Amino acid sequence: MTVADFLMLDLPPLLAAILAGGTCGLLGSFLVLRRESLVGDALSHAVLPGIVLGFAVTGARAGLPMLAGAMLAGLLAVALIGLVQRATRLDAGATIGAVFTTFFACGLVLLEVTGARSVDLDLDCVLFGQLETLVWTEGRSAAALLDPAALASLPRQLSLLSGVALAVSLAVAAFWRPLKLICFDPAYAAALGLPGRSLELGLALMVAAAAVAAFEAVGSILVVAMLVCPAAALRLMTDRYTTQVLGGAALGAGLGAVGYLLAGPLPAAMGLTLSLNAAGVIGTLGGLLVATAALMRRAPRVRANAVA
């Protein structure tokens, strides 16, 4: 594998996997701490109709209309979940399940009827993401990394992903303490007069945006692996909030990178003809991560209980 090969074929998907994994890993901790992991799953599915409509409007797989459509669909889903819950008194799990599968199915129908279905957006990329399609045609040598003209030809998805990652990071930093409080004790946050409801909505919007980002990398189905697995694994490893949240981002980024590299480039570099689907590898690694954390935690816990 040459430098040019790496820059043209592997750098864009690697960056995309890292950005998507990092953004999802950062937000995942809030979902896991609020015991709302299912909401992450629901939102990542519910944004599909918005993504498809945004795509149908612009005909391009990147860009703000797709992001806007996804966030709108996410908001609608959250509102509908609340509405159904109040109207029917079903438990949260049942309502969430009913709403997000409906949204996802609508997304699949829209995919067929709007003509959005094309080489750029089809069932495959809904299922598996499209990391492999990200190519940097101008990345012919290391010098291109410093050449603004060449950098401008990086896939547009990367600028969308970077924008989402930046916005989410800034929001998490700016609302650090209120976010912590609505994760631990939302009623107390409300009693203190903090804008808990708006923050919860903001969190849902950020998850919807991150779901679009991760949609690029791993597809709609496996977004939840990126959202939940790094955070869940860390939940078993640390008692410190800062480590949990920032570590979730780092672990998510690492999961994306390692997952992508294991899927194709590494086996290729070792001369193997084996080539795996990146989304599948990332999802599998995520599961292994949680399992390892659980096993590592188990041993000392049992001893501590025995002493007590």
Partner 1 sequence: MSAPEPLSVTHLTVAYGERPAVWDVTWSAPPGLTAIVGPNGAGKSTLLKATLGLVPALSGTVRFFGRPLEEVRDRVGYLPQRASVDWDFPASALDVVCMARYPRMRWWGPVPRRHREAAREALVQVGMADFADRQIGKLSGGQQQRVFLARALAQDADLVLMDEPFAAVDAATEAAIVTVLRNLAARGRHVVAVHHDLGTVPEYFSHVLLLNARVFAAGPVKDVFTPENIGATYGARLALLEEARVGASAAGGG
The length of the chain in residues reads 308
Nearer to partner 1 among residue 128 and residue 175 (C-beta): 175
Smallest CA-to-CA distance from 42 within 3, 13, 2, 84 is with 84
Using CB under 8 A as the binding criterion, the count of chain residues that bind partner 1 stands at: 28
Using rule CB under 8 A, residue 87 touches partner 1: no
Q: Whole-number minimum distance, CB 243 to partner 1, in Å?
A: 8
Smallest CA-to-CA distance from 199 within 26, 19, 30, 36 is with 30
Task: Measure the CA–CA gap between 116 and 122, rounded to whole angstroms.
Answer: 8
| Choice from 187, 272, 302, 307 touching partner 1 (CB under 8 A) | 187
| Choice from 31, 194, 232, 258 touching partner 1 (CB under 8 A) | 194
Using rule CB under 8 A, residue 83 touches partner 1: no
Using rule CB under 8 A, residue 183 touches partner 1: yes
113 contacts: CB under 8 Å, gap ≥ 6: none
Handedness of CA 238, 240, 244, 246 (dihedral sign): negative
Whole-number CA gyration radius for the chain: 20
Using rule CB under 8 A, residue 182 touches partner 1: no
What ranges in the chain are assigned the alpha helix state H?
A: 3-5, 11-33, 37-46, 48-58, 64-88, 92-113, 123-128, 148-151, 156-174, 176-184, 186-191, 196-218, 223-235, 241-263, 265-269, 278-307
Site string for partner 1, 106-145 (x = CB under 8 A): ----------------------------------------
Nearer to partner 1 among residue 77 and residue 179 (C-beta): 179
Using rule CB under 8 A, residue 89 touches partner 1: yes
Q: Among the candidate windows 6-14, 44-52, 68-76, 178-186, which touches partner 1 by CB under 8 A? A: 178-186
Q: Whole-number minimum distance, CB 178 to partner 1, in Å?
A: 6
74 contacts: CB under 8 Å, gap ≥ 6: 43, 46, 47, 50, 204, 205, 207, 208, 211
| Choice from 102, 169, 243, 284 touching partner 1 (CB under 8 A) | 243
Q: Which long-range contacts (CB under 8 A, 24 or more apart) does 258-265 make?
A: 258/285, 259/17, 259/21, 259/285, 259/286, 260/13, 260/14, 260/17, 260/131, 261/14, 264/10, 264/132, 265/1, 265/6, 265/10, 265/14
CA torsion angle for 89, 93, 99, 103 (degrees, to 10)? 170
Q: Whole-number minimum distance, CB 186 to partner 1, in Å?
A: 9
Q: Among the candidate windows 4-12, 52-60, 146-154, 181-189, which touches partner 1 by CB under 8 A? A: 181-189
Nearer to partner 1 among residue 33 and residue 208 (C-beta): 33
Q: Whole-number minimum distance, CB 35 to partner 1, in Å?
A: 7
Q: Among the candidate windows 61-69, 157-165, 224-232, 237-245, which touches partner 1 by CB under 8 A? A: 237-245
| Choice from 90, 174, 291, 295 touching partner 1 (CB under 8 A) | 174
Nearer to partner 1 among residue 270 and residue 304 (C-beta): 304
Using rule CB under 8 A, residue 181 touches partner 1: yes
Residue numbers at the binding site for partner 1 (CB under 8 A): 33, 35, 89, 173-178, 180-181, 183-185, 187-188, 190-194, 235, 238-241, 243-244
